[in-house]
Every structure is written in structure tokens, then in C-alpha cells.
Structure 1
Amino acid sequence: MAVVRPFRAIRPTSELADKVAALPYDVMNSEEARQMVVGNPYSFLHVDKAEIDLDPSIDHYDKKVYEKARDNLNKMITDGVYIQDEKPCFYLYKQVMNGRPQVGIVGCASIDDYMNNVIKKHELTRADKEEDRVNHVDYCNANTGPIFLTYKARGAINAIVEKTMAQAPVYDFVSDGVQNTVWVITDEADIETIGKEFAAAGDLYIADGHHRCASAARVGKMRREQNPGYTGEEEFNYFLAVLFPDEQLYIMDYNRVVKDLNGLSDEEFMEKMKGMFHIKEYCGEGQYRPESKHTFGMYLNDKWYILTAHGDIYDPNDPVDQLDVSILQKNVLDPLLGIKDPRTDSRIDFIGGIRGLGELEKRVHEGMKVAFAMYPTSIEELINIADAGKIMPPKSTWFEPKLMSGLFVHQL
């Protein structure tokens, strides 16, 4: 039984929403962020990546960065860039990319549900990235970036969504080709129904934002220790989330490029690959995009190849082992190319599907040796792995569109 509750969002005025809204802090580096905010003092990157307002030499994990984030957020509130709703509400957040919509409920999820695995995970977190967000949340006294959750679709929630979208939105703007539209759900009966429906829905699943979610839970536990008389109703017991029905989500391919063949010649590498894959040279135009599970595109020496995995190199009954990212890691990246830990090995890089397969060719021409185009992981696979209590390999899923930061702030 999941707890999802309304909250009094701190959110930008309608006139400034498109200027405040920013891509998540972890999809660009600091220099890119500096360029993105030129001429826009309202961008939420001044909060989410506050190092852009400090000397470029500063360590991104320095205490001054978190203090600057806090000060920038407080100034935006004081200056009237932000308003706060008078009563707890749910919000509706619709995104449309390439004509495909996804509509989520914005509310607060429970840190207890996270700790008790009612909110299920499918990825490991890195200690340094988690610590960074703990400090950011703690100094800002707020969840500034929403966690992207999914749930098994509920008809009653869908009905409220449709009714709400017939009303006038508070925000409606296009950013980076994605239309972002927001409504406020104020009807008490609808708010009550949404809470009951999530309670009846069973488990929730982290789609994207494992580090933000883990950090929010850690800050909540810290605040409980600081407030031993806490009741459980305090805002620090909850964190900002956008919850999308599973049927609407779109996962793109998450591709790989590798710097060298680990001492193998091209011929030796191809011969070893033949023991695990049926290999066929691609004769079509452009790049080869895998059309089904267990097929891969490989770009080597200016040629695309179609790889089809032999059935004996994975367990079709194991939800993790049968993933294409697992097949590649266990049979190619680790044993042939010597990449034991893809999270830390500098010889491998990952290219989100939003950048296109031409980016793989570009990276190979710029110094990488081989590229692998992946068939996307499905939302069903993600849920099955989370339900089994298992963990996906790193960089298994690339969700699009990305949730904009700055449209909703949850104060602790």
C-alpha cells in the first residue's frame, strides 16, 4: 500500500515558468550549464548546478556550492519568481515529445515506502553522487528535482486526468522540442480519490532518479534523528515525485562505445564473436537499428553488422540474464574486452538514444574503436526485475522526455 499525498508546491509564476524550467542537473556538465543560462537569471540551473555562479575552479562538492544553491533558491522565492499554493494539491504534468504524450501526477511519496521496498528499485547508486544530492537537499531544505516513478495504470486516476486536462492549464510552453503543460488539481474529492487509488495500486517503481530518491530518504532519516518527537506527518517524511502510468512510458536505447579491442586484432575479435552471435554485414542505408530483442548493431571499421545472440548464451527465464544489456556485458564487454565494471571503466562510454545512432559513428571516427547499438529495455522488463528484487546492469534505460526541474519545489 503506497502513500502518495498532496503538497503545497512552491512553483514559478505563470509568466516565468518557461524561463525557470531546466533540464535535470545530471544531463549536462557544468560548462554546458554555464552556457545554457546565459541571459536567463531565472533558470533553475542556478539552484540545481549552483557551481555555475561560482569560480570555475571550485570543487563541485564544496560546501560553498550547496550554500549558493540555498541562497539562489531563497532569493527566487523572496523576489516573487516563485509562489506557493495555499492548500495541499496534486498537480498534473503532461509532456509531449514527437507527438507522443505522457501525463503524470505530481505529489509526494513516502520515505518509509522507499525504505520498505513498496517503492521498488532496479539500479545501484554511487556513493559520491548520492552524497552530493543529500547535501543539496539538506542545504536547500527542499526536494528540487522530482523522482520519476511509475505505477500500473488505474482507471479512476485516468478519469481524473482526463477531466483535469479539459480545464485551463497554469503552464503551457515548449522547451527543447518538448511541450510541457501543468494543471493544478484542487478538487477535494479528486485529491482523496487519487490518494486512495495509489494506496490500492500496490507497489510503485523508480523509473529514473535512483540517486535523488536515495538522497531524499537519507535526508528524511537525518531529520527524524534531529527531531526525535516527529509524528511522521512532517514534510521531511515525504519527497517530490511525478508518477506516470506504465502504459505511457517510453524507454529509448542506451548504446555503448568502447575505446579498443583489449589487445585483440579485428580478425580475432570477430572470430570470438562468432561463437556467441550470428553475424551478418548490414547492407541497408544509414545505421543499423536493432528491430527486436537479442539483436544488436555493431559498428566496426566503418561497417555496420547485425548480431543475433545464440540462444545458449543467456537464460530466458532469468529477468536480468535475458536483458540485452546483460547479454552484451556478460559475453562481450567483460570476457572479450576486459570491461569488468562499466560504471567505472574509462574505456567505455554510453550514448543515450536521444542522440541518434549517427553519434555512435561519430564517436568511433573520433577515437573509439567499436560501437554497439542496443534494442531498448521495456518497461515490463524493468517492473519484472524490480518485482524480483534484482538489479539491472548500469545504463540499462534511457527515458525520454526528461522531467523539467524547477516547476515544482517541495519544501521540507
Structure 2
Amino acid sequence: MPVFKPFKASRPTRDKVGLIASRTYETYSKAEREARLDHNPFSFLHIVNPGYKYHKEISGPQRFNLVKNRYEEFKEDGNFIKDKKPLFYLHKIVYRHQTEFIGIVGAASVEDYEQGVIKKHEDTISEKVNVFKDYLKTVRFNADPVLLTYQKNEVIEQISQKLMEQRAEYEFTTTSRETHYLWLISNEDDINSIQKACQQTDCFYIADGHHRSSSSIALKQDLEKANSKHTGNEAYNYFMSYLIPEDQLKIFEFNRLVSSLNNLDPESFLIALDEYYKIENRGQDYFKPSTKHEFSMYLEGEFYSLILRKKAYEFTDALSELDAQVLYKTILSPILGIKDLRNDKRIAYVQGQKDMAYVKGAVDQGDYAVGFGMYPTSVSEIKTIADEGLVMPPKTTYIDPKLRSGICIYEF
């Protein structure tokens, strides 16, 4: 029975929202980021990249304090307003006039995450969690919701459809050709109905945002210790989330690139693969996996299909069924000697929207020796991994939607 609460968002004025909203800082190339900072004084990037004002790279606690200052300046300049009562926010995203994502922005419970009512499928890096915790503790706001998913609920669906018949509070299109709509859910009956519908759900699943969720736990623990009057109702007991039905998620694969064959020549490498795979040389024919336990490979200017020999590999649990784990157990670790998927510099990950053409180009340029194409992981696989308390290998899924920073801001 997960808790999902409305909150008082700080959000851009209607005339500024399209200028303020930005992708997350890391998704921009240096040239893209500088162009937006140079030509758009309202971009949220000015808040999260405060060193731009001083033409200097700034990090650590000094950056955190400057982020807080820039945010306060944006508010003082009238670029943000704060809602007077707790609301939910219906956010619809349309990609290139085709794919639609419709979800609700609200506050999820840290305690639910601690108790396993909000389930995870990825591991986190403690150093990264602590850095973001310290950042949150300083700036006292969160501008990037965690992507949570749940089984479609008819009550929430009806409320959403009814609301979308009205004029949206926000409607703007980005240079990436995404169109965003935001409606304020202010009717008390609708708010109560959404909360009751969530409480009738067994659990939520984290689709994207594991580090942000874990940082919220660490933040809550720190602030609770420092607050002698802690009640459990404080804003730091919750974290901003975008709740979306699981049938709306779009899951792409992460393909793999490896820089060397671990001192093997291509022929010896192919012979080693034969223990686990039926191998077919596809020559120049572009090949993409069409089912689980099938991989594409690009080596020495040619495509190959690799089909797992089921009798040569033992399936023991949901993790062992994952293609990312199969590739690790049969090729990356035993043949190529890659034991640490997170830190080994020989392996790189390419999200599947760039497809095997990108992998081919990277190998042809000589930057990598071999590339592997994956079949996308399914929602049911993610849920099974989470239900069994298991952890996926790094870069197993690339999930849309990707949410913009600065549309709704959660203060605590």
C-alpha cells in the first residue's frame, strides 16, 4: 500500500516554462550546454551550472551553495511561483507527435522505499549517493522526479482523461521535438481518489532514478537525526516522483562495445564463442536481435548472429535469464576477461536508440574491437528482478520517458 501525496510545487511562470525547462545536465554535450547558457538566460542550466557566471568550473560544497543562490535569484526575479496548496500535477509528454507518456507528479514515501513497498532493480554507488545527499541538504530542493511505475489503474486513468479535456496550464515544445503539457490536479475529490487508488496498489517499481531515491533515504536519515521534533510528516520524508503506468514505458537496450579481444585473434575468439552459441556470419547484412537470448555481434567488418545454446547455459533465477547477464557470464567475463562491468575501462555502453549502425561505426573507426547488440529487457523482467530482490547488471535498460528539470520543483 504505497503512499503518494500531493505537494506545493515551485514551478515556472507560464510564459517562462519553455525557456526554463531543460534536460539533465549530463545529457548535453559541452557545445550544446554552452550554446544554451550563452543564448538562454532563463535555462535551468544556469541554476545547476553556477560556475558559468564566473567563467569557472566549480565543484563540491562551493558549487552546492552557488546552486542554492542561483535558484533563490530565479525566484526573486519572479521566474518561479509556488502553489498555495498541495496539488498533483498531470504531465503529458509527446515525442515527435507519436509516442505519448501520461503520468502524475507527486511525492512518494521514503519509508516505503526503505520497507520495500517501492522496489528497485539496480544497485547504487554509495559515493554517488552521498554526494547527491549532500547536494540536496544544501540546496533544499529537488528538480528531477524519480520515474516510478505501477500497474494501470482505471480510476487514475479516468481522472487523467477528464483533466486532459481542459486547457493545460503549460504547453510547450522543445528543440528535441518533445511537446509537454501540464495540468494542475486541484480538485479534492480527484486528489483523494488518486491517493486511494495508489494505496490499493501492492507496490511501485523504480524505472529510473535509483541514485536519487537512495539519496533521499540518506537525506531523511540525516535530517531526522538533526530534528528533535521530527514527526514523519516533514517534506524530507518524501521525494518527488513521476508515476506512470507500466504499459506506457518504452524500454530500449544498451549495446556493448569492447576495446580488445583479451589477446585473442578473431578466429580464436569465434572458436571460444562456439561453446555457448550457434554462430552465423551475416557479412554486411545489418542484423538486430529479434528475441531473447539472441545477440548481434560486429567484428572485423562483419555482422554475426549469436543464438544461445540452451543446453550449454544454466538458468537458475530471474537474473540468469537476463540477456545482459547471459552475455556477461558467457562472453564478457570468461572470454574477454571483463569482471567489473561498472569500472572496467575496456567496455562502453551505447543506448539502443543509437542502434547497431553506431556500434559498427565505432568498431570501424578502430576505437573498439567488437560490438554486441542486445534485445530490450521487458517490464515483466524488471518487475521479477525487483520482486526477487535481485540486481540487474549495469546499463541493462534505457527507459523513456526522460523527464525535464525545472518544470515542477520539490522544496523541503
| Equivalent pair of 2:284/2:303 in contact (CA under 8 Å) | no
2: CA distance between counterparts of 1:404 and 1:150?
A: 17
Question: Greater CA deviation, 395-404 or 264-273?
Answer: 395-404
- Residue of structure 2 in register with 1:96 after alignment: 94
So what's the TM-score if we normalise by structure 1? Answer: 0.95
3-state SS in 2 of match to 1:102:
strand
For 2:116 and 2:31, the matched residues in 1 are separated by 37
For residues 373 and 90 of structure 2, the distance between their equivalents in structure 1, rounded to whole angstroms, comes to 35
Identify if the C-alpha distance between structure 1 residues 408 and 57 changes in structure 2 by more than 3 Å, giving closer, same or farther: closer
Tell me which residue corresponds to 1:271.
271
Q: Would you say 1:83 and 2:81 are equivalent positions?
A: yes
2:336 counterpart residue number: 337
Name 1:238's counterpart in structure 2: 238
Letter of the 2:227 counterpart: N
Q: Which amino acid aligns with 2:171?
A: D
**Contact 1:120–1:205 (CA under 8 A) maintained in structure 2:** yes
- Residues 257 and 184 (structure 1 numbering): CA distance in 2 closer, same or farther, change over 3 Å? same
1:11-410 superposed matches below 5 A? 11-28=11-28, 32-58=32-58, 60=59, 62-98=60-96, 99-175=98-174, 176-282=176-282, 285=285, 287-316=286-315, 318-366=317-365, 367-410=367-410
| Aligned residues of 1:343 and 1:394 also touching (Cα < 8 A) | yes
Against the structure 1 CA distance between its residues 317 and 53, is the aligned structure 2 distance closer, same or farther, given a 3 Å change threshold? farther
- The CA distance in 2 between the partners of 1:52 and 1:349, in whole Å, is 30
Distance 1:161 1:293, change over 3 A: same
Distance 2:397 2:345 in 1: 20
> For residues 62 and 277 of structure 2, what CA distance do their matches in structure 1 show?
52
Q: 8 Å contact 1:30–1:52 — kept in the other structure? A: no
Cα contact 1:178–1:401 (8 A) shared by 2: no
Q: Which amino acid counterpart does residue 387 of structure 2 have in structure 1?
A: D
Change (3 A) 1:57 1:166: closer
Q: Could you tell me how far apart the structure 2 residues matched to 1:54 and 1:362 are?
A: 38
Unaligned runs of at least 5 residues, structure 1: none
Conserved in 2, the CA contact under 8 Å of 1:69 and 1:136? no
Identity of aligned residues (%): 35
CA distance in 1, matches of 2:76, 2:315: 56
CA-to-aligned-CA distance 1:238-281 (integer Å, 9 cap, x gap): 11000111111110111110100011111110001111111112
TM-superposed deviation, 1:50: 3.8
Cα drift, residue 38 of structure 1? 2.4
* Equivalent-residue separation in structure 2 for 1:378 and 1:317 (angstroms): 19
Secondary structure at the counterpart of residue 362 of structure 2 = helix
Matches of 1:75 and 1:324, distance apart in 2: 48
Provide Cα deviations, 1:110-130, integer angstroms capped at 9, x if missing partner.
110111111111111112321
Distance in structure 2 (CA, Å) of the matches to 1:75 and 1:31 = 25
Residue by residue over 1:134-190, the C-alpha shift from the partner in whole angstroms, topping out at 9 and shown as x without a partner, is 122111111221101111111111111111111111112222122211111111100
Q: Say what the alpha-carbon RMSD is for the aligned residues.
A: 1.6
Identify if the C-alpha distance between structure 1 residues 32 and 65 changes in structure 2 by more than 3 Å, giving closer, same or farther.
farther
- Tell me which amino acid in the other structure corresponds to 1:383: K
Q: Distance in 2 between matches of 1:149 and 1:52?
A: 33
Structure 2 unaligned residues grouped into runs of 5+: none
The structural deviation recorded for 1:316 is 4.3
Q: What's the CA shift string for 1:28-71, capped at 9, x where partnerless?
A: 4666533442211211122334454455454x3x2111111111
Within 2, Cα distance between the matches of 1:297 and 1:152?
32
